[in-house]
Amino acid sequence: MNRRLWMASAIGLALFLLVWVSMAAGWTMAMDEEGLRRLDSWNWLDPFTFLGNGRTIGIVSIMLVVILWFFRRNMRGVILVLAAVGGGYGLNEWIKHLVGRERPPHAGIGGFSFPSGHAMVGTIYLLLLAYFLAQTRAKRGERAAIYGVFAALALLTGLSRLSLQVHYPSDVLGGVGLGGAYLAACLALYRMWIHRGGRL
């Protein structure tokens, strides 16, 4: 399992770096403009953006921490949530300021654009929820269905930023790649911690 997590982390990081380099070189410009044009009329995606806003992520994360701490006595799980969600948010903000990419014209909101925080942190917390929920199911098919549903929600959250015209497609792709890479690394370390009796 850990080998697959590290592999997923490496693939996600490679995707993120590829998008970053391509964006910096101007190779994504045509894709970004065409993606915004095509999704401008997909208004049915707009409501999914609430899944990736800070208030939703904060409330869900606090609820998950309360469940893990008070009902499952899983302190390591609490630390995982704080490290994955809080650390992911901090990493996103740092890279945004490092890259300094402006948002699409007429976005109507401030802040930098690459990578998308909704896509990155949304991917992290939604797939983290899927991980903990999947641990409660014994059947592989049920676990796969849980991951599928939450992965679809993460994808819709990212796409909503395009329908709202506040991010470029490369912002969303980069956010999903980095979010997946960071979460996979956190989960791999978490599982190592459990298997070694609390010692990393």
Structural contact between residues 166 and 102, judged by C-beta atoms closer than 8 angstroms: no
Looking at residue 198, its pLDDT comes to 52
Q: Please report which confidence band the pLDDT of residue 107 belongs to, taking 50, 70 and 90 as the band edges.
A: confident
Asked whether the predicted pLDDT for residue 66 surpasses 80, the reply is: yes
Q: Which residue has the higher pLDDT, 200 or 15?
A: 15
Give me the mean pLDDT over the 54-59 stretch: 94
User: Which of 181, 183, 162 shows the shortest CA–CA distance to 118?
Assistant: 162
Distance CA 174, CA 176 (A): 6
Distance CA 52, CA 163 (A): 14
Per the domain annotation, does 200 fall within a domain?
Answer: no
Distance CA 120, CA 130 (A): 15
Distance CA 83, CA 96 (A): 19
Per the domain annotation, does 56 fall within a domain?
Answer: yes
Asked whether the predicted pLDDT for residue 105 surpasses 70, the reply is: yes
User: Which of 169, 175, 135, 133 shows the shortest CA–CA distance to 150?
Assistant: 133
Judge if pTM exceeds 0.85. Answer: yes
Per the domain annotation, does 98 fall within a domain?
Answer: yes
Per the domain annotation, does 158 fall within a domain?
Answer: yes
Give me the mean pLDDT over the 66-93 stretch: 93
Q: Which residue has the higher pLDDT, 105 or 19?
A: 19
Residue 170 is part of which domain span?
2-195
Angle at 21 between CA 15 and CA 25, to 5 degrees: 145
Angle of helix 87-99 versus helix 117-134 axis, rounded to 10 = 160
Radius of gyration of the chain (CA): 17
User: Which of 58, 189, 25 shows the shortest CA–CA distance to 17?
Assistant: 25
The string of pLDDT tens digits covering residues 9-20 is 999 999 999 999
Cis peptide before 47 (omega within 30 of 0): no
Per the domain annotation, does 130 fall within a domain?
Answer: yes
Looking at residue 199, its pLDDT comes to 45
Looking at residue 106, its pLDDT comes to 84
User: Which of 163, 146, 126 shows the shortest CA–CA distance to 47?
Assistant: 163
Q: Please report which confidence band the pLDDT of residue 80 belongs to, taking 50, 70 and 90 as the band edges.
A: very high
Q: For the chain, what percent of residues have pLDDT higher than 90?
A: 85
Per the domain annotation, does 46 fall within a domain?
Answer: yes
Structural contact between residues 85 and 125, judged by C-beta atoms closer than 8 angstroms: yes
For the chain, how many structural domains are there in total? Answer: 1
